[in-house]
Amino acid sequence: MIQRRLIIGLLIACVLICGTVQAVTLQVSVADEKNGDSLADASVYVDGEYVGTTASDGTYSYVHSGKKDLRLKVVRKGYRDWTDWVDADRTRIQVDMFRKDETLTVEVYDATTLKPVVGALVRVEGDGISRSETTRSDGGTDFSVRSGALYNVDIRASNYYDVSKTVQMENSGKVVQYWLFRNDLLAVQVRDAETSAPLEAAEVFVDGARVGATDADGNLPVHLQRERRYSLKVTAPDYQPYQEERYIEVDNVLFLVHLSKSAYPVSLTAFSETMKPIAGAEVYLNGTFQGKTNQYGRFMLSDVNAGTYEITVKAPGYGEWMEVRQVSGKGEDIVAELDYDQASVTIRAEDTDRKAVANAAIQVDGRVVGVTDGLGYLRTALTTNKVYAVTATRDGFEPISIDVEIPLGTTEFTVPLMMERTFNIGMLVVGVGVVAAVLLGAVLVVRRRRAGAGRGRPPRGRGRL
């Protein structure tokens, strides 16, 4: 019995040993078919099942029973899938993978207008191919190229500088965009001759034809063939026109023009509120003294550059006149109407005894301006060179109104008002009544005394008998 079990165990061991000896190891080597470079990270499938990825040297080892042929598949990004049958007893296989075809799109745009350039010739060379296409209406064109390859891109278009670039394709399609700069582009820059500030809306003419107007930065791009002579003219409102014959060299890219402002006559007439000419009024331009008006109130400036100015007129006895004016076109005829200056006016109300009258209501030309203080004063500001009706009222005093003229050029002025106390009829009646009562009482007293004295005397007739 024991011997039988031993024999069975030996048979099982032999079967296992024979099975191990028959196992087959298949080494898969994956490389680029073009350059022979090993491809790492390639996915390996056997009979439709994923079994692993290649190592950094592009190899993968697969162990199988060796009893049947294998359906081997290798997949890697950027390459076409590889599939084939492998004999059961095969131990090595070389897999050469072909790169996928990807789309390289080249787009070109005008660097100045930002618009697509139509009809540009684009050539792509590299990885054994050389192809040329022209750009469509959208400025683009497509090429079928190999992924992972390096290509040279050359672009040519009429009136543009050539462009040459290098493109490295990845494992997917790619879009590249390029600016094309015109070789006939000439930038015209227009500046103020005095301040160098850019001039907007300056018009540019070439050989008598208008080619455009400058932008907010004073620039205008124009297209002119090089090595030719042109008549250039630049105009702008309120500036002297510029004109020149200019030969444009191959290397000329910028044409700088400085415009000087036009000069115009400016006349000014100074009047008072009553339209009376003011002689000797001082005239200032942007704070700088220019001169004085003549006897007719006139002042003339013959050459004032176009622009915006702050014009100020000053005269003794008048308020300052100021206005901001734009000098342009045919010049300016300015009328400056100066208001009369104001004086500090003190109104003093007092009674006939020269005592201050407080709380008196003061009106000037019918308008209430306030009441007097404890000292009888009221201060206000009034325009000079004018006659005012000044009125004062207060209970217990007769109203008073006077006409006062404040002379031109006066800075301080005092108006005295003498107020008389009101005559009180009631008090007069009471006083008369008191006096009458006193007089009546006195008469009665006198009569009584006389009557008493008469009773004390004997009758005249009887005494004699």
Question: pLDDT digit string (tens) for 362-379?
Answer: 999 999 999 999 999 999
Q: What is the pLDDT of residue 178?
A: 97
- Helix runs in 157-267, H state only: none
CA angle 51, 74, 97 (to 5 degrees): 155
pLDDT digits (tens, 9 = 90+) for 102-157: 899 999 999 988 999 999 999 999 988 899 999 999 999 999 998 888 999 999 99
In the predicted structure, residue 247 carries a pLDDT above the cut 80: yes
Q: What percentage of the chain exceeds 70 in pLDDT?
A: 89
What are 248-256's contacts with CB under 8 Å, separation 24+? 248/186, 248/224, 250/226, 252/186, 252/226, 253/185, 253/186, 253/187, 254/186, 254/187, 254/189, 255/186, 255/187, 255/188, 255/189, 256/189, 256/191
Residue 345 neighbours by CB under 8 Å, 6+ apart: 379, 380, 381, 382, 406, 412, 413, 414, 415
Position with higher pLDDT, 435 vs 417:
417
Is the domain covering 342-419 a CATH 2.60.40.1120 domain?
yes
For residue 359, how many C-alpha atoms fall within 13 Å in the half-sphere facing its CB? 4
In the predicted structure, residue 278 carries a pLDDT above the cut 60: yes
The residue type at 402:
I
CATH superfamily of 101-180: Immunoglobulins (2.60.40.10)
Q: Is 441 helix (H, G, I), strand (E, B) or coil?
A: helix
In the predicted structure, residue 463 carries a pLDDT above the cut 50: no
Q: Are 318 and 340 spatial neighbours (Cβ–Cβ below 8 Å)?
A: yes
In the predicted structure, residue 14 carries a pLDDT above the cut 70: no
Q: Which helix (H) or strand (E) holds 166?
A: strand 163-168
Distance of CA 326 to the CA centre of its chain: 23
In the predicted structure, residue 460 carries a pLDDT above the cut 90: no
In the predicted structure, residue 459 carries a pLDDT above the cut 80: no
CA gap 319, 337 in Å, rounded: 10
Distance of CA 47 to the CA centre of its chain: 71
Residue 302 pLDDT level (bands cut at 50, 70, 90): confident
**Mean pLDDT of all residues in the chain?**
87
- C-beta neighbour count of 460 within 10 angstroms: 7
Position with higher pLDDT, 77 vs 358:
358
DSSP output for 74-109? EE-TTB--EEEEE-TT--EEEEEEPBPEEEEEEEEE
Q: What is the pLDDT of residue 10?
A: 59
Q: What is the mean pLDDT of residues 20-34?
A: 83
Q: What is the pLDDT of residue 185?
A: 87
In the predicted structure, residue 441 carries a pLDDT above the cut 90: no
Residue 11 pLDDT level (bands cut at 50, 70, 90): low
Position with higher pLDDT, 251 vs 424:
251
Query: Which candidate, 42, 139, 47, places its Cα nearest to that of 86?
Result: 47
In the predicted structure, residue 395 carries a pLDDT above the cut 60: yes
CA gap 270, 124 in Å, rounded: 79
Q: What is the mean pLDDT of residues 333-355?
A: 91
Q: What is the pLDDT of residue 231?
A: 94
CA gap 445, 450 in Å, rounded: 9
Structure tokens at 255: 């044409």
pLDDT digits (tens, 9 = 90+) for 162-213: 999 999 998 888 999 999 998 888 899 999 999 999 999 999 999 999 999 9
pLDDT digits (tens, 9 = 90+) for 31-61: 988 888 899 999 999 998 999 999 999 999 9
- C-beta neighbour count of 375 within 10 angstroms: 12
Q: What is the mean pLDDT of residues 322-351?
A: 89
Q: Are 257 and 229 spatial neighbours (Cβ–Cβ below 8 Å)?
A: no
Where do we find the tokens 């034809």? 209
Q: What percentage of the chain exceeds 90 in pLDDT?
A: 61
What does R_g of the chain's alpha carbons equal in angstroms? 59
Query: Which candidate, 278, 311, 272, places its Cα nearest to that of 295?
Result: 278
Structure tokens at 100: 């996928």
Q: Please give the DSSP secondary-structure letter assigned to residue 18.
A: H
In the predicted structure, residue 465 carries a pLDDT above the cut 50: no
Is the domain covering 263-337 a CATH 3.40.50.2000 domain?
no
Domain ranges of the chain: 24-97, 101-180, 185-259, 263-337, 342-419
Q: What is the pLDDT of residue 464?
A: 42
Q: What is the pLDDT of residue 35?
A: 84
CATH topology of domain 24-97: Immunoglobulin-like (2.60.40)
The hierarchical CATH code for the domain 185-259 is 2.60.40.1120
Lowest mean pLDDT segment, chosen from 76-80, 111-115, 399-403: 76-80
Q: What is the mean pLDDT of residues 322-335?
A: 86
Q: What is the mean pLDDT of residues 64-88?
A: 89
Residue 392 pLDDT level (bands cut at 50, 70, 90): very high
- The maximal CA–CA distance of the chain, rounded, in angstroms, is 224
pLDDT digits (tens, 9 = 90+) for 59-74: 999 999 888 998 999 9
3-state SS of 271-289 is ECCCCCECCCCEEEECCEE
Beta bridge partners of 323: 311
24-97 and 185-259, same CATH topology: yes
Q: What is the pLDDT of residue 102?
A: 87
Q: What is the mean pLDDT of residues 272-291?
A: 93
Residue 19 pLDDT level (bands cut at 50, 70, 90): very low
